[in-house]
C-alpha cells in the first residue's frame, strides 16, 4: 500500500468515525469490492444513514475538507486530494444498515466484528489493519439499491491453500455435477426453480467459485407448483445409468454417493437427498445435497425429516429434544425465493435467486467474513406430525 493510500484510509476512517450524527458504511461498488475481494480500491463510495446535509458540511468545516454537492443526497468530499463519494440515505434504510435491540446486544457479546452502532466491522486484507463498517444486512442492502449486483461482478483469483478441498480437478468435477443436476431438473420440468443454495450460493456470490473449507455442494428446489410426479422424475433421472465423458455410471448420479431420499411421512413428498457420480476420494468427486423447500405461513422451510430429530443437531437453547416429533425444519421468508435469474458460472448457465443477498443475510449473518459455519437457526419449526399442520410450531 502506498503512503498516499495509507494517509487516505487513516484520514477517512477518523473523519467518519468521529461523526456526531449518523452511521457510516461502505457503499455501492466499494461495498461490493470489499465483500467479494476484501479490498478497498478505485473510487470510494460511503453511505450515511441518520445524518443530514448540514451535518456533513459541519464535519467538513471541522476537518477543513472541501465538499461539493448539496443538490439532493449525493456529495463529494475531498480528503487529501482524493474524492470520496458520499450518499445520505433516508431512515427507511436503517433496518438494512444497523442491527438493533436484543439481537444487537446478543451479537455484541458473541461477535468481535459487531460494532457498537450495529454494523459489521471488518479488516481489509491489506498490510495495515484498517477496519471498515459494512451494513448489517449487506446483501439485502445491495439487492435493494442495485438489483443483480452479483451477476457480472469480477472476482479476483482465489488463493490456493494446502488444505483446500476444491482443488482444480475437484472444481472441474463439481461443475460437471452441477450441470448434470440442472439437466435432471430440466427433464423433470422445473429447471427454472432449481438453484444452488447455502454455502454453494455463498461461494458463487462472494468468491466467484467455491468457499475454502467447504466439502460439498447444496442445490435446492423451490416452487409450490412442482408436483410429486415431477419429483419422482427428478429422482429417476438422478439414478438412471448414464454415460459422462468416456465412462458409464451404472447408478447415474448416485454411483459415487447415494443417500436414500428423505420424504414427508404424510404424502411422500421429497425433502432431501444427496448424490454424486464420482467417488469423493478415489476420483476427487463431489457430493451435493438436494433440498426441496416447502411453504408454510409464508416461510420457505427445508428439512431432512427424521434425520434432524436428534439432540446433536438442535440444542436445548432452541428446542428441547423430543424423540416423538417427526421432523425439525429451518426456514426463511418465502419471498426471498420467489424469483430467479440466470447467470453464467464457470461455463454453465445456472439459476440463482434474484434476492441472493437477502438469502445470504438469512443463512449466514455477517457473511462477508470468511468462516466455517452452518446456516443460521433463527427460524426453526418443530413438526410433531406431518399430517397435522395446525400442530406445527415455530420456535
Break the chain down into helix, strand, coil percent, rounded to 5.
35, 25, 40
Give the closest residue to 84 by CA, choosing from 97, 94, 98, 69. 69
- Give pTM, 2 decimals: 0.94
Nearest-5° Cα angle at 242, 252 to 272 = 25
Characterize the bridge pairing of strands 44-49 and 23-26.
antiparallel
Question: Under a CB-based contact definition with an 8 Å cutoff, are residues 291 and 271 in contact?
Answer: yes
Q: What is the DSSP string of 40-95?
A: --SSEEEEEES--HHHHHHHHHHHT-EEEE-SSSEEEEEETTEEEEEEEEPGGGHH
Q: How far apart (Å, rounded) are the C-alpha atoms in residues 161 and 278?
A: 23
The closest alpha carbon to 138, from 28, 18, 288, belongs to: 28
Q: Which pLDDT tens digit goes with each residue over 304-350?
A: 987 676 655 655 555 565 667 888 899 999 999 999 999 999 999 99
Domains of the chain listed by start with CATH number:
3-136 (3.30.460.40), 168-394 (no CATH)
Cα–Cα distance measured from residue 339 to residue 349, given in angstroms and rounded to the nearest whole number? 16
Grid cell, residue 280, equals: 469423493
Torsion of CA 110, 111, 112, 114, to 10 degrees: -120
So what's the pLDDT on residue 158? 66
Which pLDDT score is estimated for 39?
Answer: 87
What is the pLDDT averaged over residues 226-238? 97
pLDDT tier at 206, thresholds 50, 70, 90 = very high
Separation in Å, CA 392 to CA 167, 284, 309, 325, 389: 43, 41, 14, 10, 5
| Residue that the C-alpha cell 423451490 belongs to | 222
Q: Max alpha carbon distance in the chain (Å)?
A: 74
Residues 167-200 pLDDT 10s: 899 999 999 999 999 999 999 999 999 999 999 9
Asked if 45 contacts 26 with a C-beta cutoff of 8 angstroms, the reply is yes
Higher-scoring residue by pLDDT: 256, 127: 256
pLDDT at residue 307 in the model: 67
Q: Identify the pLDDT of residue 156.
A: 80
Distance CA 90, CA 347 (A): 40
Amino acid at each position: 500500500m502506498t503512503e498516499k493510500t495509507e494517509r487516505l484510509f487513516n484520514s477517512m476512517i477518523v473523519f467518519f468515525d468521529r461523526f456526531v450524527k449518523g452511521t457510516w458504511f461502505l457503499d455501492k461498488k466499494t461495498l461490493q469490492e470489499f465483500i467479494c475481494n476484501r479490498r478497498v480500491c478505485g473510487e470510494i463510495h460511503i453511505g450515511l444513514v441518520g445524518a443530514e446535509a448540514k451535518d456533513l458540511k459541519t464535519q467538513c468545516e471541522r476537518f477543513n475538507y472541501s465538499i461539493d454537492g448539496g443538490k439532493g443526497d449525493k456529495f463529494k468530499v475531498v480528503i487529501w486530494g482524493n474524492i470520496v463519494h458520499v450518499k445520505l440515505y433516508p431512515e427507511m434504510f436503517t433496518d438494512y444498515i444497523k442491527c438493533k435491540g436484543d439481537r444487537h446486544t446478543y451479537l455484541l457479546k458473541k461477535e468481535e466484528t459487531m460494532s457498537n452502532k450495529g454494523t459489521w466491522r471488518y479488516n481489509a486484507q491489506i498490510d495495515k489493519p484498517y477496519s471498515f463498517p459494512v451494513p448489517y444486512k449487506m446483501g439485502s442492502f445491495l439487492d435493494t439499491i442495485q438489483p443483480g449486483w452479483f451477476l457480472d461482478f469480477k472476482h479476483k483469483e482465489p488463493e490456493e491453500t494446502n488444505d483446500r478441498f476444491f482443488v482444480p480437478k475437484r472444481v472441474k468435477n463439481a461443475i460437471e455435477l452441477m450441470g448434470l443436476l440442472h439437466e435432471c431438473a430440466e427433464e423433470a420440468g422445473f429447471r427454472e426453480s432449481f438453484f444452488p443454495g447455502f454455502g454453494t450460493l455463498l461461494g458463487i456470490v462472494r468468491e466467484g467459485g467455491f468457499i475454502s473449507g467447504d466439502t460439498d455442494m447444496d442445490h435446492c428446489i423451490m416452487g409450490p407448483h412442482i408436483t410429486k410426479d415431477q419429483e419422482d422424475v427428478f429422482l429417476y433421472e438422478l439414478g438412471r445409468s448414464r454415460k459422462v465423458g468416456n465412462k458409464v455410471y451404472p447408478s447415474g448420479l448416485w454411483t459415487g454417493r447415494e443417500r436414500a431420499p428423505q420424504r414427508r411421512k404424510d404424502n411422500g413428498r421429497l425433502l432431501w437427498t444427496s448424490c454424486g457420480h464420482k467417488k469423493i476420494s478415489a476420483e476427487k468427486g463431489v457430493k451435493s445435497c438436494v433440498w426441496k423447500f416447502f411453504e408454510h405461513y409464508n416461510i420457505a422451510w427445508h428439512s431432512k425429516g427424521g434425520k434432524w430429530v436428534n439432540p446433536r443437531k438442535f440444542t436445548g437453547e432452541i428446542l428441547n429434544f423430543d424423540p416423538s416429533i417427526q421432523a425439525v425444519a429451518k426456514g426463511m421468508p418465502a419471498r426471498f425465493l420467489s424469483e430467479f435469474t440466470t447467470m453464467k458460472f464457470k461455463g454453465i448457465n445456472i439459476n440463482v435467486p434474484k434476492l441472493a443477498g437477502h438469502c445470504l443475510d438469512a443463512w449466514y449473518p455477517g457473511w462477508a467474513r470468511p468462516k466455517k459455519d452452518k446456516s443460521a437457526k433463527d427460524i426453526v419449526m418443530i413438526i410433531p406430525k406431518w399430517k397435522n399442520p395446525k400442530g406445527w410450531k415455530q420456535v
